[in-house]
Amino acid sequence: MIGFAIHPRQRAVSADVAAKFVGMPVANLSDCMSRMTAGGPRLRPMHDGTYMAGPALTVRSRPGDNLMVHKALDVAAPGDVIVVDAGGDLTNAIIGEIMATYAKSRKLGGIVINGSIRDAGALRRSDFPVYAAGITHRGPYKDGPGEINCTIALDGMTIEPGDLILGDEDGLLCIPYADVEAVYEAGKAKNAAEEKTFANIAAGTHDTSWVDARLKALGCLKG
């Protein structure tokens, strides 16, 4: 039937690879990806801020409908991050406390909803990662259609099943499966450079001469 499909996932980043990224600032990794990838400013953490890292299990659902999200909770493997494109509509909540609790019991890595959640207080106190675009008390429909393990896009960020999904208090990032190791190495170098900068600030030796050099190059300063 058109609009209904459950596809097999062809590949996914491993749990060991995902674990290497835990704690790496999403902002730094985003810089390493030339600032060209982002999940959009509307998708914010609805939990206590615990870091999220795991392979994507993608869902495309009709706005306001969570039938395929329920199926995804049963299909997903431990560590998977369920990423739901519900069209960004905020009218009806796609998940709430019960579904998040069930996902945590199955040891999933987190849930991302391009749409609304409810039971916000309970989710906010939880360490189970949930990202969403909004909050509403109005519940979902359960009629479909929907697809599991298909290509989706959140605010221009394309996500393929099995790509690495990361989230911290700054938001979400998808690292394509083929780029994971390169981004990891670049992220380590970026983190080391920032640690050196903080050390220089503490020592009073932080060099900001680049600011005037840039302004001179732009014609704002003379000499």
Question: Tell me: the pLDDT tens digits for 64-120?
Answer: 999 999 999 999 999 999 999 999 999 999 999 999 999 999 999 999 999 999 999
Is 118 annotated as a binding-site member? yes
Is 97 annotated as a binding-site member? yes
pLDDT of residue 223: 67
Per cent of the chain over pLDDT 90 is: 95
Q: Which of 93, 97, 102, 99 is nearest to 140 (CA)?
A: 93
Q: For residues 215 and 36, give the distance between their C-alpha atoms in angstroms, rounded to a whole number.
A: 25
Size (the chain), residues: 223
pLDDT of residue 40: 87
pLDDT in tens, 115-146: 999 999 999 999 999 999 999 999 999 999 99
List CB contacts of 36: < 8 A, sequence separation 6 or more.
none
Is 119 annotated as a binding-site member? yes
What φ, ψ does residue 112 adopt, rounded to 5°? -120, 130
Q: In the chain, what are the domain boundaries?
A: 5-178, 186-218
List CB contacts of 67: < 8 A, sequence separation 6 or more.
61, 141, 142, 143, 144, 146
**Residue 127 DSSP one-character state:** S
CATH value of 5-178 in 2.60.220.30, 1.50.10.10, 3.40.50.300, 3.50.30.40: 3.50.30.40
Mean per-residue pLDDT over the chain, rounded: 96
Model pTM score: 0.94
pLDDT in tens, 164-192: 999 999 999 999 999 999 999 999 999 99
Q: Which of 63, 67, 57, 125 is nearest to 97 (CA)?
A: 125
Is 62 annotated as a binding-site member? no
